[in-house]
Amino acid sequence: MKDCPSCGSWNSDDASFCRHCGSALLGGPSRATAGNEARQNQPGFTPPSPPPGQHPAHLTPQGSLGTKSSGKATASLVCGIIGLIVFPVIFSVLAINLGLAAKREISRSGGQLSGEGKATAGIVLGIVGLVFGVIFLVLTLAR
Ligand SMILES: [Zn+2]
């Protein structure tokens, strides 16, 4: 039991605040609790257990949020489209090369980079553009 410094009412030992007037209790047991809290809040006391567990857990969501699409995959897709519509062959070859480079980059990144779908699309568009370009060239030359 400890008595309130403000109103003198008795409160239980584990009470932090007086249940009669609400003021903070400064009795012996509460001082011991405050001491324990202070010790737990000391930088030297806390780091050993929570941060090593918390840091990777904290970094994982940031990592998944920060997962960026491979720039090469996007470039491959863009070149594939350009190769298909505007400049066949040159951009199509670029699209295939960039798509393959993007796939290598993505697999090497170990989950850091995404965009494999874009890289595949870029390669497919590149192949289609190249095939159409070659057919177009053959037809033009044959004429
Ligand atoms: Zn009180």
Instruction: Convert the pLDDT of each residue in 112-133 to its tens digit.
Output: 888 988 999 999 999 999 898 8
The DSSP line for 34-98 is: HHHHHHHHSTTTSTTSHHHHHHHHHHHHHHHHH-EEPHHHHHHHHHHHHHHHTSTTHHHHHHHHH
Tell me the C-alpha distance between 122 and 143, whole Å: 31
Identify the segments of the chain with pLDDT beneath 70. Answer: 26-66, 88
Please check whether residues 55 and 90 belong to one and the same domain: no
Q: Please give the distance, rounded to the nearest whole angstrom, from the Cα atom of residue 73 to the centre of ligand 1.
A: 69
Picking from 10, 28, 62, the residue at the C-terminal end of a domain is 62
Q: Please give the distance, rounded to the nearest whole angstrom, from the Cα atom of residue 41 to the centre of ligand 1.
A: 28
129, burial (CB in 10 Å: exposed 0-12, middle 13-18, buried 19+): buried
Picking from 37, 62, 87, the residue at the C-terminal end of a domain is 62
* Cα angle 32-18-26, degrees, rounded to a multiple of 5: 30
Q: Please give the distance, rounded to the nearest whole angstrom, from the Cα atom of residue 11 to the centre of ligand 1.
A: 8
Please check whether residues 57 and 78 belong to one and the same domain: no
Please check whether residues 48 and 80 belong to one and the same domain: no
Q: pTM for this structure?
A: 0.49
Q: Please give the distance, rounded to the nearest whole angstrom, from the Cα atom of residue 37 to the centre of ligand 1.
A: 23
Q: Please give the distance, rounded to the nearest whole angstrom, from the Cα atom of residue 7 to the centre of ligand 1.
A: 4
Q: Please give the distance, rounded to the nearest whole angstrom, from the Cα atom of residue 27 to the centre of ligand 1.
A: 12
Please check whether residues 130 and 91 belong to one and the same domain: yes
Domain assignment of residue 109, given as a range? 68-142
Give yes or no for a contact between 126 and 85, defined as CB atoms under 8 angstroms apart.
Answer: no
Q: Please give the distance, rounded to the nearest whole angstrom, from the Cα atom of residue 8 to the centre of ligand 1.
A: 6
According to the model, what pLDDT value does residue 38 have?
52
